[in-house]
Amino acid sequence: MNVSATKSSLRHDWTREEIRRIYRQPLPDLLFSAQQLHREFHDPRRVQFCRLLSVKTGGCPEDCAYCPQSAHYKTDVARGGLLPIEEVTEFAERARSEGATRVCMGAAWRQVHDGEDFERVLEMVRRVAQLGMEVCCSLGMLDDTQAKRLADAGLTAYNHNLDTSPEFYGQIITTRNYGDRLRTLTAVRKAGITICCGGIVGLGESDDDRIGLLHQLATLDPHPESVPINALERVAGTPLEHQQPLDPLVYVRTIATARNLMPASMVRLSAGRRSLSREAVALCFVAGANSLFIGEKLLTTPNADPEDDAAMLHSLGLEPLPLR
């Protein structure tokens, strides 16, 4: 089966059946087509370094079953108010000096509310953009005016994940639905901000749910420019604390399928990377991943050890993508 696309033929009309066929290929075949497309659209020696910062932590009214920041569960995450602007700019400067070219600020909000906090986030965006870095925010649901204001402040990307298939979604989150998520993505697109949208594997979903998520992402037109593939970070106190560990090859398969369907997008190794062996991470790069989060922490959970990361990238012969 020929699953390749050319630069001029990015497809947005994938059927679930086609995606199922791609996902279910023997792994070497799937990796081969992913790698071919990866090389057509990206420099295979470069990996973008991104850095996450939780600008407002914990106490979130949503009930996302995976999330340590939900107020519905008793976890070790300490609640905090919105960070001061200076702390964020200093953090971004440090991240830049460590090779990051993109900063993503997350807030434990269901949605953005107009007011002092939003004004402060807008100023954070302006300051990070002034450093010449890409700046991404993940603040929950947004309306058109708020998206426009973020665009005017210099926001590069807005992260808003679909997380899993429409069918499985209700088993993970009951306080909002798929339509709510899609409406925010439309507002972001309308404002001219690029979209960062992906999901989580290892929630207890089936192959068909992963295929369903990839179908949703790959039929967005344009595709999300950035596709974070998170592996569940199992956090004590959340309902998914005792979830079965994910088979790393399922993670690799999901990445390779994303690369086949959305060849021009950045596919990002996100949460859960610290649980993968170096060999599994190497396979993720073969599968077409081209970005990772650096630094000791994600939003609230630990990331892979920075020294181990440096050794891993060196042993794989990969280099950071420079600032554009």
Interface contacts to ligand SAM, rule CB under 6 A? 60, 66-67, 69, 106, 108-109, 138, 140, 160-161, 163, 200, 230, 232-233, 235, 271-272, 299
Is the separation of the CB atoms in 75 and 108 below 8 Å? no
- Is 284 considered catalytic here? no
Identified binder of ligand DTB from the candidate list 238, 270, 290, 291, rule CB under 6 A: 270
Is the separation of the CB atoms in 260 and 219 below 8 Å? no
- Which of 172, 274, 269, 182 is CA-nearest to residue 219? 182
Q: Is 235 in the site for ligand SF4 (CB under 6 A)?
A: no
Pick the catalytic residue from 96, 102, 137, 196: 196
Residue 163's binding partner, choosing from ligand DTB, ligand SF4, ligand SAM, none, with beta-carbon cut-off 5 to 8 A by kind?
A: ligand SAM
Is the separation of the CB atoms in 22 and 5 below 8 Å? no
Q: Is 104 in the site for ligand DTB (CB under 6 A)?
A: yes
Helix (H) or strand (E) holding 138: strand 134-138
Cβ distance to ligand SAM smaller for residue 53 or 299: 299
- Is 67 considered catalytic here? yes
User: Cα 204 to the chain's mean position, in Å?
Assistant: 19
Query: Pattern of binders to ligand SF4 over 52-81, x per CB under 6 A?
Result: --------x-x-x--x-xx-----------
Q: Which stretch binds ligand DTB (CB under 6 A): 205-213, 236-244, 299-307, 316-324?
A: 299-307
Q: What does the angle CA 11 – CA 14 – CA 19 come to, to the nearest 5 degrees? A: 120
- Is 268 considered catalytic here? yes
Q: Where are the alpha helices (DSSP H) in the chain?
A: 16-23, 27-41, 85-97, 116-130, 144-153, 166-169, 178-190, 207-218, 248-261, 278-286, 306-316
- Is 136 considered catalytic here? yes
Rounded to an integer, what distance in angstroms lies between the CA atom of residue 194 and that of residue 57? 24
Query: Pattern of binders to ligand DTB over 5-44, x per CB under 6 A?
Result: ----------------------------------------
Q: How far is the CB of 104 from ligand DTB (least distance, A)?
A: 5
C-beta atoms surrounding 234 within 10 Å: 19
- Is 278 considered catalytic here? no
Q: How far is the CB of 297 from ligand DTB (least distance, A)?
A: 7
SS3 151: helix
Ranges within 123-162 binding ligand SF4 (CB under 6 A): 140
Structure tokens at 274: 């610290």
In the chain, what's the furthest Cα-to-Cα distance? 55
Is the separation of the CB atoms in 38 and 5 below 8 Å? no
Q: Is 48 in the site for ligand DTB (CB under 6 A)?
A: no
Rounded to an integer, what distance in angstroms lies between the CA atom of residue 20 and that of residue 301? 32
Pick the catalytic residue from 104, 137, 197, 284: 104
Q: What residues line the site for ligand SF4 (CB under 6 A)?
A: 60, 62, 64, 67, 69-70, 108, 110, 140
Q: What residues line the site for ligand DTB (CB under 6 A)?
A: 52, 68, 104, 106, 138, 159, 161, 198, 228, 230, 233, 270-271, 298-301
